[in-house]
Amino acid sequence: MFTRTILFRLVYLTALCLPLGTPALAGDVQVAVAANFTEPAKEIAAAFEKKTGDHVVMSFGSSGAFYSQIQQGAPFEVFLSADAERPTRLEAENLGVKGSRFVYAYGTLALWSATPGLVDNKGAVLKKGNFQHIAIADPAAAPYGLAAVETMKKLGLYDALSPKIVRGSSIAQTYGFIDSGSAELGFVALSQVYKQNKGSRWNVPAAFYTLIDQQAILLAPGANDPAAKAYIAFLKSPEAVKIIKSYGYAVH
């Protein structure tokens, strides 16, 4: 009994000496993921965890918001952006590991409605204008929102459609506006609707907007984390590429 009591006290005292805030386990990878890539990121994380035993902790949102958070010291180890601009900036600012940046997917913009037959396969519905609201992601924060603006300008319809535009903070919120009927139609990432038969859509020609080359980068907090490095490497693997392509992305 005496020995067990002494042992208990030693364990208790040791626990008191531990810092209140302990770092994440070595096998945890903190990843910031652009909202358009939510579903493939979940599948890739599951495959990665099954293969390595490491755990992926993901946050989803707009690329612009994540960029600001990373600048302010957010402890993300990997950033899967929806564009090339922000990872390039982070690398130049020494917040990303030089040489780790690469394109993990090329995205496609789609005009989508939850209503069958509303969106035709050439996007002529935009010229007809027989709707009250059209949803886009915030072009300042989300590359797909910027692509939506470029598309409407390319068609010469931006000024006419501006009064009807409702903006989501991310492409995920934009999808929610359309799915709920708050907006009759809107521009989303093709990956968000690629695996569903719901509603109607037009895949916007690539010539209508700037190439959406989505880049990944290993961030400074993950520079010495084997799990973060392994995750970045896994993104390039045939298994991950197969998942990415299954959502309508192009991978070169």
Q: Name the binding residues for molybdate.
A: 63, 171
DSSP letter for each residue of 161-186 = HGGGEEEESSHHHHHHHHHHTSSSEE
The 3-class SS string of 198-223 reads: CCEEEECCHHHCCCEEEEEEEEHHHC
- Token duo for residue 187: 């521009």
Radius of gyration over every alpha carbon of the chain, rounded to an integer in angstroms: 22
What residues form the annotated binding site? 63, 171
Amino acid of residue 194: Y
Query: Measured between alpha carbons, how far is 96 from 221 in angstroms, rounded to an integer?
Result: 9
DSSP letter for each residue of 103-132 = EEEEE-EEEEESSTTTS-TT-THHHH---S
Least Cα distance to 192 among 13, 15, 41 occurs for 41
